[in-house]
Amino acid sequence: MMKMPVGLFLLLALSNVVFLLGKEDDWECNNKPTLHSRPHSVSIAEFGAIGDGKTLNTLAFQNAIFYLKSFADKGGAQLYVPAGKWLTGSFNLTSHLTLFLEKDAVILGSPDPAHWEVASPLPSYGRGIDLPGPRHRSLISGYMLNDVIITGHNGTVDGQGLTWWDKYNSHSLDYSRPHLVEFIFCNYTAISNITFLNAPAYNIHPVYCSYVLVLNVSVFAPPDSPYTLGVVPDSSDGVCIEDSRIVVGHDAISVKSGWDEYGIAYGRPSSNIHIRSVSLKSFSGASLAFGSEMSGGISDVRAEQLHISDSYSGIGFRTAKGRGGYIKNIIADDAEMENVYIAIDATGQSESHPDDKYDKDALPFLNGITFQNVVGTNISIAGSFSGIQESPFTSVCLLNVSLSIPSSSSAYWVCSNVSGLSQSVVPEPCPDLEGITTSNSSSGSCFPLLYSNGRSWTL
């Protein structure tokens, strides 16, 4: 897995990038790169920026980054953001750059939408997420970049999302809402040791990217903020999300890969995603979500050491007829849930479509999803699996799952058009998830047995 072509490995070594790759065939959280400091650094203050929370500094950020482009072949450079409140509109990053936010440095998103550029929709979506047509560009964007790091001493990026949420709720947006950080077609990017607040929509959105590291970040948005999402790997591979705390209105971590006919045509999956040691809360969505946009396919995701609390659903899978694509080879291992309405929620009826041109016969597949070593307290519904009649969910496995449910709850498990296996599950699951006994014990059809290229996970 994650085999890096030798040529690329050499190229990276020669171009003096700060990513020191470990074993070249094993990225993700087990073999994270070491982040080094850059040989050159400039402060945003040197470009005339004023950290008073009032002066608009968009031009200072754009000029600083334009200047730092010239260091790309000299080991790259750091843009240092000192303590202060640095108001800005959207700006672009460049390759071989570290954006470093000092303790008490806050990059404040301008509350005026006119300060956020407008860009064309992503090809795998065909439109913006909120409205058809173009969308606002993210506060911090990277387009076709290599080797970019956003880090610091727990400085903050605050999107001041309130104006956007109000406009969303009152249907007065001009274009779809922006995100805080979006990387499009980027390789080797890392975000670590910083805090994200009040995103207009998503917080961290890598799209069409390879090798993304999200480490030790904190993400907060108010519970009632509409459709705010935390980290959203989208048509991206080789992703590690670790040691992070995410509290949002909707989904805390959401793996996606494009929407209906646009996602099918674009055809870029999300795969090889490793999530470890995260604490998640999602008021109205799922703490760990797959879809509903998954038309390019989602596979090979391992999520472990999950602490999920105060959420509508713990782990959610969403798809619908018309999506096409697949969700397969997913394992959630070692999850603790507390105060969660539905612990596991998988639905094939997530009917929202980009337009009316989608192909109603494009059936999605969901196969090979394993939940193991899950404990939950104060859960209302243990699990709901609602597959698609023409394409039932298959090989859904529950192993060592124990959920405590107040006796007032009436439905423990709700199952239709789903098949799979279960062992040591409390409360007893629906018969669709056939019990494995010790006499015929073999969870042989449960993922993971072997990883796609024959490497086995350590279980």
Residues binding ligand NAG (CB under 6 A) = 35, 62, 92, 141, 143-146, 151, 153-154, 156, 185, 187, 192-193, 195, 210, 215-216, 218, 243, 334, 339-341, 373, 375, 378, 380, 389, 400, 416-417, 434-437, 440
Backbone angles phi, psi at 33, to 5 degrees: -75, 155
171 vs 406 by CB, closer to ligand NAG: 406
CB of 310: closest distance to ligand NAG in angstroms? 7
CB of 79: closest distance to ligand NAG in angstroms? 15
CB of 388: closest distance to ligand NAG in angstroms? 7
Beta carbons within 8 Å of 314's beta carbon, 6+ residues apart: 286, 287, 288, 308, 335, 337, 340, 342, 343, 344, 345, 376, 379
Angle, CA of 322, 323 and 327, to the nearest 5°: 140
CB of 171: closest distance to ligand NAG in angstroms? 28
193 vs 299 by CB, closer to ligand NAG: 193
194 vs 264 by CB, closer to ligand NAG: 194
CB of 259: closest distance to ligand NAG in angstroms? 21
141 vs 176 by CB, closer to ligand NAG: 141
d(CA 432, CA 56): 59
CB of 373: closest distance to ligand NAG in angstroms? 3
Say if residues 306 and 287 touch (Cβ distance below 8 Å).
yes
Residue 243 tokens, joined: 């040691």
CB of 142: closest distance to ligand NAG in angstroms? 9
307 vs 353 by CB, closer to ligand NAG: 307
Say if residues 287 and 317 touch (Cβ distance below 8 Å).
no
Beta carbons within 8 Å of 25's beta carbon, 6+ residues apart: 1, 2, 3, 4
Say if residues 153 and 106 touch (Cβ distance below 8 Å).
no
203 vs 210 by CB, closer to ligand NAG: 210
31 vs 400 by CB, closer to ligand NAG: 400
d(CA 297, CA 29): 22
Say if residues 40 and 54 touch (Cβ distance below 8 Å).
no
